Amino acid sequence: MATEQAQEIEQLELLGKQLKGKREYKRLQSVVLKAKQGKGAEEIADLLQLNVRTVYKHQERYRKECLSAFDSRKPGPPSGPRLMSREEEEALLKALEDRAGEGQLLTGSQVKQACEEKLEKPVALSTVYLILHRNAWSKQRPRPRHPQGDEEAKTTFKKIR
């Protein structure tokens, strides 16, 4: 039993040399301090400047996942709420892109309306902008041009001025 615990502490210390992020290192320290020195969660929280509940979460996660508990990953959903699959989003935006290719200007509310028609339920505008961002669409506007504008007259005017 004691040798198993010693091996476990040795593995944790080796892992500590490989970790790069501050978050992962604090997570590791909250487990090592308990295993190596037998410190309580309150004492560990004071030493590492963490909340006591966070220390409990780190220790529980280590009990469940072992060494993989220290992998770096951001908390929360990776890219916002998903109302459609990635393929459905791409297909919807491809159809809208064809309209934009004809010279029409697309606004967020138009994309929102197309999303609502596809999903048959209301969609928040912020969700629409998340979809646009995930698919690398930008909010740039084209420079305004008159449909009957004369390019030659514009260049002549610029030269005169």
- Torsional sign, CA 137, 141, 143, 148: positive
Quote the pLDDT of residue 53: 92
Quote the pLDDT of residue 161: 61
Quote the pLDDT of residue 39: 84
Quote the distance between the C-alpha of residue 157 and its chain's center.
Answer: 49
Question: Running along the chain, 161 residues long, what does each successive block of 10 average in pLDDT?
Answer: 70 72 79 82 88 88 77 58 84 82 75 90 89 81 74 82 61
Q: Could you tell me if 63 and 31 are in contact, meaning their C-beta atoms sit under 8 angstroms apart?
A: no
CB atoms within 10 A of CB 89: 19
Quote the pLDDT of residue 82: 78
CA distance 100 to 98: 5
Quote the pLDDT of residue 59: 84
Quote the pLDDT of residue 81: 60
Quote the pLDDT of residue 79: 56
Quote the pLDDT of residue 117: 92
Quote the pLDDT of residue 75: 57
CB atoms within 10 A of CB 44: 24
Domain boundaries, the chain: 2-70, 86-134
